[in-house]
Amino acid sequence: MAVCYEKLWNILDEKEMTRTELKEDAGISFNVLARLGKEEPVSMESIEKICTVLDCNIGDMMDVVPDRQGRQAKWSGQGKQGDEGIRSRRCKSENPRFTTIELFAGAGGLALGVEKAGFETLGLVELDKAAAETLRTNRPSWNVICDDIANISKLDLEAYFSLKKGELDLLSGGAPCQSFSYAGNRLGLEDARGTLFYHYAKFLNKLKPKMFLFENVKGLRSHDKGRTYKTILDIFQQEGYTIDESQISVLNAWDYGVPQKRERLITVGIRNDLVEKIHFEFPKPHDYKPVLRDVLLDCPESAGIGYSDYKKSIFELVPPGGYWRDIPQDKAKEYMKSCWDMGGGRTGILRRLSLDEPSLTVLTSPSQKQTDRCHPLEARPFTVRENARCQTFPDEWEFCGSVSGQYKQVGNAVPVNLAYEIALKIKEGLECL
């Protein structure tokens, strides 16, 4: 026997009531709401609470059906909907979605891409209050946990997320890069104690997901002469995961539908008992690489930070695609001050982008002297929304907090399209099971 809550969702639609509002009004937990969303049985107490709030009977909100065939037969008789109706309204048990929990979630770039690939998000852990509010605002149904991950990783995670060990499909996220005091001592998980990565590893240790996605900056591979990343890989392996060279790659977001040159180190792990069943390979680069012309010309207006009058007057001298060498030397020397005598090309100073090139890596601050990113058509930095488009966030994704905080959220995010491409490949691997 199986349950189907299609009637419940129809009642909510009729009452113009969100699932979050149902949760709050009925006094049910997020876990109960998640089980409803997964078409799983819940306690009679929870059902009675829901019926009281919606003023309905049990039969008005759910069906109990014997099997998949019976469910399809029930729906196939719904007038003109036919097969399309079956496909669009089927219960989750017929079209299962893989589950994921994300750590260090930020403003949701990675989570949004993973969701787009077809995963159901069971929880997101994020310490920054503004970023957590961004997640809640855009996805009220997501279980956003705004807390220090150290407080969460020590809990009974199986009970906290209503999961059995080994049941979670994917753990995703990327801990900030930190040196390990005991790196090389081969103490296992204890090698990472005191770092944020330790808590990522604790989630692996306690939940044993089928796969994990660990993303980080390209420089992690060489950090501390390679010892940091080696220790991370050792811990992954000691926790029961296989990571060979085909599961490690530095991907450039520009190759995957993102109008930005941005490289990220991607590590994908497969639980040892599933290695013979799950096949994973990284996505192939796209033939077309988008440029700023594709995203800037029709970008909606949004908040942004401008240049001072002086800096604006200097940037008006720089042609699109140019930098400090393309303006009179006396003007460049006056602007650059002590930077004038530095070595190297200093190509990030007074850099003005062109519509026919991708953005350079979107940063957390829009107007630092040595990492300028001037708009191609106007003497100003990109707005928050323009940066968000370079990160392939949808225009309806709203960022919360101060303007500087919004820039930081966007700059720290994983590009949505890159996350989507990787998550699709992970999903393909899980479908092999």
Residues 6+ apart with CB under 8 A from 174: 104, 110, 214, 215, 216, 414
Return the bridge partners of 374, or none.
Answer: 352, 381
Q: What is the CA radius of gyration of the chain?
A: 25
Report phi then psi at 124, rounded to 5: -135, 130
Structure tokens at 56: 């309905």
Backbone phi and psi for residue 170, each to the nearest 5 degrees, phi listed first: -145, 135
SS3 268: strand
339 is catalytic: no
3-class SS at 190?
Answer: helix
Which one, of 109, 117, 176, lies nearest residue 415 by Cα? 109
Q: Which of 316, 103, 362 is nearest to 207 (CA)?
A: 103
Torsion-angle region of residue 321: left (phi > 0), alpha (psi -120 to 50) or beta? left
Which tokens hold the place of 147?
Answer: 């807390």
Pairing of strands 241-242, 170-173: unpaired
Q: How far apart are CA 245 and CA 422, in angstroms?
A: 16
Query: Cα separation of 420 and 426, whole Å?
Result: 10
Please state whether beta strands 170-173 and 144-145 pair in parallel, antiparallel, or not at all (unpaired): unpaired
Phi-psi region of 151 (alpha: psi -120 to 50; beta: other; left: phi over 0): alpha
Using CA atoms, how far apart are residues 423 and 276, in angstroms rounded to an integer? 20
Of 4, 51, 177, 390, which one is the catalytic site residue?
177
Residue with token string 């159901």: 120
Contacts of 257 (CB under 8 A, 6+ apart): 286, 290, 392, 417, 418, 421
| Cβ atoms < 10 Å from Cβ of 31 | 18
Residues designated catalytic: 177
